[in-house]
Chain A
Amino acid sequence: MANKGIMYIDGQRVPFDGEPNVLSVIRKAGIEMPTFCYYSDLSVYGACRMCVVEDERGKIETSCSMKPRDGLSIRTNTARLLKHRRMILELLLASHNCSCTTCEKSGDCRLQELAMRFGVRKVRFGDSREESQLDDSSPAVVRDPSKCILCGDCVRMCGETIGMDIIDFAQRGYNMRVSPAFGRTLSQTHCISCGQCAAVCPTGAITIYNQIGKAWRAIHDPKVRTVVQIAPAVRVAVGEAFGLPAGTNVLDQLVTALKYMGIDEIYDTTFGADFTTIEESEEFLARLEAGGPFPMFTSCCPAWVKYLEMENPKYLKHISTCKSPMEMFASIVRKHYQEKDAQDGKTTFHIAIMPCTAKKMEAARPQFQHEGKPDVDLVLTTQEIINMIKESGIQLPQLDLEAPDLPFGLGSGAGTIYGTTGGVAEAVVRHCMPDKSRNTLRALEYSPLRGNESIREATIPVGDREIKLAVVHGLNNAQKLLKEIDEGTAYYDLIEVMTCPNGCVGGAGQPYGLKAKKQARSAGLYATDRSAPFKRAEYNPGVTSILQKLTHEQRHELLHVSYQK
């Protein structure tokens, strides 16, 4: 039975119904409780002590670790509490590398925001920080321990949601640090570059590896043709930085903005996703004929592929041989511009705008290099492209609409929903199901393929066979599923895995957002799918015409890859 009742917050009568802690009830009452270490998608840690409240007897407790009780009366802003919060902030600032103006996180830093909110203008303690080493060894994130406030968000994210436990607390007391085991750098660990640690870091201690400079150099070089592809999840998140509600599809404004910034050709990754749908479906149908190996795993998520390589290589043969949509697209673009480059003497520079930090790692993989040059020259995250738009002074919401360029700018609705959990599986099912009527599509809308549960199962009839599908998001859930498969307690034919919670819309490259925001982005993608002119990959004329022209060998070379050693 849900915990129900009435609480009194600063004298205001607030009913609660199943909220996990007093802090969420306070937030429901419209009071923005300050905190560093409480993140509603993770477990309660209670270390920052910012969310303290005072009860009727004057006892001070943290609201994040307090259970709501019927009749409980608390105050959130007494003189004592404010004094303590200011002191805690002052203590944190004293040990923090306050190089705010040049910090990657400036303007978006919770320590900065709260210090401003509580009017901490002076730090009465001397700087006694010990020197720390910057770790920029990872292709996805940069760790600067001098800015760490030891809230443990990254540690819990890496352990609880991703299930990798790459970073943890080391040493104790004042010497406590967040670090990979034995003080290694990230590149020496099994880090899968998902970047979720950076997504939850309240300060600049873990930030996304910033490559904006490289992008500008390419854009401003007259001898370089810049080609951009925009991933599905990006279009429903960029608007958030310009005051639009989460889930607003701003693809067309984004195209205009990129044109203004000087990018030559702007395409849509959903075009690549349609290739992936067709190739993956055909591979799946072929496996059905050949009898395995099952389950077949999707291969779109680079962090997931990396995880299997590092931790569970026996399943590598189960993973689809299809490249990810980004890399398929990049192969097609490379082939397309080969002749053109030779004709006009320009070099093509391929930029992929992704919601993902692991794509930076994927782009650098040896499998996706040709003649020493990567197919995707640069991966920019949503956050980086937002910064570039802001740097250019472009007011995104006021822009005219412009569609992505042809021939690679048009994707199906199925390609669009790749950006959310369940989308890849649904696209494949749409392609595999022999019944192409509108009613089957509508039935899929209400199937377990859509939703927010971390592990979802569906049984779909294909031909004379019922296929068992699973959709998983959050890598720890995928690990659970693998364990069940190992033990023989679960069987699936096809499993879609996304490392980040809620799929790509919740990627680490996206602007900061909690569960509700990520779900709004997913809803935005489904809305785009509903209004798409065609909803199945095989109805994409651009894709089918290219596939027809390719020989079997070419198709294999361009669109497939092997991760097995």
Chain B
Amino acid sequence: MGTTLREVIFDIGGGIKDGKKFKAVQIGGPSGGCLTEEHLDMPMDFDSLKKVGAMIGSGGLVVMDEDTCMVEVARFFMNFTQNESCGKCVPCREGTRRMLEILTRIVNNEGSLEDLDLLEDLSSTITETALCGLGQSACKPVQSTLKYFRNEYLAHVVDKHCPHCNGRKKVLQIDPELCKGCGKCMRQCPMEAISGQIRMPHVIDTEKCIKCGACWGCCPFGAIREE
């Protein structure tokens, strides 16, 4: 308690890998808020985090470097909370699903400026009227990124080009010539997006794939390609 974020990230954690620049830290688990450089010297305690729209929550920190697209981060966490929604109350059941729809649209450069307003409206309704803590905090990543990284949303919506994630919009595929059908990637895939029979070339379901790269890292034959 009271340690600054800078101490945790740079002194204890050893700073950013490969000498890259620090961009943001998401604190408190999937429904925590994203904080920026300016908050690094803030002491970590309940009250000061609450003031800037984040929370201690589980205490977990996700540190992001300059290559990360913050809209994609918001979409990723919204996907998590939407999956966790039990479905009882309307704002969480229907709202998180619509949030995810809009965020996915924006990440795919298909969003509009109205979508940003809609995200803000939805966030406030879900936060203030949801039945339990999950719904009440589900929109924190969206609200905080909209606040601190609005320009990245605008890059997606107005410029239709995001310098961070457009390179990653590529699709992962398995080269059938190189794949030996060992099944390693299938076991590694967190989304169960890979299917195939042993000793036969495997296939990635691009609908399910979240492009995490787990298969790419584990393939002993270099058969995973980005296209």
Contact = CB atoms under 8 A, between A and B. Distances in A.
Contacts of B87: 150, 169, 171-176
A125 B129 contact: no
Given A83-B125, A88-B125, A173-B85, A125 B98 contact: yes
A92 B86 contact: no
Contacts of B166: none
Interface in B58-105: 82-91, 93-95, 97-98, 101
B90 A48 contact: yes
A94 B99 CA distance: 13
Interface in A112-169: 124-126, 128, 149-150, 169
Residue of A60, A87, A92 with most partner-chain B CB within 10 A? A87
A42 interface: no
Nearest to A149: B90
Contacts of B83: 173
A47 B131 contact: yes
B86 A173 contact: yes
Contact of A47 (B82, B89, B95, B128): B89
Given A47-B88, A128-B101, A173-B85, A80 B93 contact: no
B91 A172 contact: no
A94 B91 CA distance: 12
A128 B102 CA distance: 13
B93 A84 contact: no
Contacts of B95: 87, 91
A87 B85 contact: no
B130 A49 contact: yes
A83 B121 contact: yes
B118 interface: yes
Residue of A84, A126, A171, A173 with most partner-chain B CB within 10 A? A173
Residue of B84, B94, B101, B130 with most partner-chain A CB within 10 A? B94
Nearest to B115: A124
A396 interface: no
B131 A49 contact: yes
Nearest to A86: B125
A560 B148 CA distance: 79
A49 B91 contact: yes
A84 B90 contact: no
Interface string B120-138: 0110110011110000000
Contact of A88 (B82, B91, B101, B131): B91
Contacts of B121: 83, 87
A56 to B, nearest CB: 16
B99 to A, nearest CB: 10
A95 B94 contact: yes
B93 A176 contact: yes
Given A172-B87, A175-B87, A92 B125 contact: no
Contacts of B122: 87
A46 interface: yes
A48 B128 CA distance: 13
B90 A80 contact: no
Contacts of B98: 91, 94, 125
Interface residues of A, number: 28
A150 B85 CA distance: 14
A128 B88 CA distance: 19
A84 B101 contact: no
A52 interface: yes
A374 to B, nearest CB: 42
Given A83-B121, A126-B101, A52 B129 contact: yes
A472 B91 CA distance: 40
Contacts of B114: 124
B108 to A, nearest CB: 14
A491 to B, nearest CB: 43
B129 A46 contact: no
Contacts of B125: 83-84, 87-88
Nearest to A175: B87
B129 A60 contact: yes
A171 B94 CA distance: 15
Contacts of A174: 82, 85, 87, 93-94, 97
B89 A49 contact: yes
Nearest to B89: A47
Contacts of B97: 128, 174
Nearest to B121: A87
Interface string A22-64: 0000000000000000000000001111001000000010000
Contact of A125 (B89, B91, B101): B101
A437 B97 CA distance: 70
A209 to B, nearest CB: 28
A550 B42 CA distance: 96
Contacts of B128: 52, 60, 80, 84
Contacts of A126: 101
A150 B86 CA distance: 12
A173 B85 CA distance: 5
Given A91-B94, A95-B94, A174-B93, A84 B129 contact: yes
B187 to A, nearest CB: 26
Interface in A171-195: 171-176
Contacts of B85: 172-174
Nearest to B130: A49
Nearest to B135: A49
A80 B124 CA distance: 9
B93 A46 contact: no
Interface in A78-110: 80, 83-84, 87-88, 91-92, 94-95
Contacts of B129: 49, 52, 60, 84, 88
Nearest to A80: B128
Contacts of A150: 87, 90, 93
Contacts of B82: 173-174
Contacts of A88: 90-91, 125, 129
A48 B114 CA distance: 26
Nearest to A87: B125
A68 B124 CA distance: 26
B91 A124 contact: no
A124 B93 contact: no
Contacts of A80: 124, 128
Contacts of A92: 90, 94
A90 to B, nearest CB: 9
A450 to B, nearest CB: 40
A128 B100 CA distance: 13
Interface of A: 46-49, 52, 60, 80, 83-84, 87-88, 91-92, 94-95, 124-126, 128, 149-150, 169, 171-176
27 contacts: A47-B131, A48-B90, A49-B89, A49-B90, A49-B129, A49-B131, A60-B128, A60-B129, A80-B128, A84-B124, A84-B128, A87-B91, A87-B95, A88-B125, A94-B94, A124-B114, A124-B118, A128-B97, A128-B101, A150-B87, A150-B93, A169-B87, A171-B87, A173-B85, A174-B82, A174-B87, A176-B88
Given A49-B90, A174-B82, A174-B87, 10 more contacts: A84-B128, A87-B125, A88-B129, A91-B90, A91-B98, A92-B90, A125-B101, A126-B101, A174-B93, A174-B94
Which 3 pairs, one residue from A and one from B, show the smallest C-beta to C-beta distance?
Answer: A176-B87, A91-B94, A87-B125
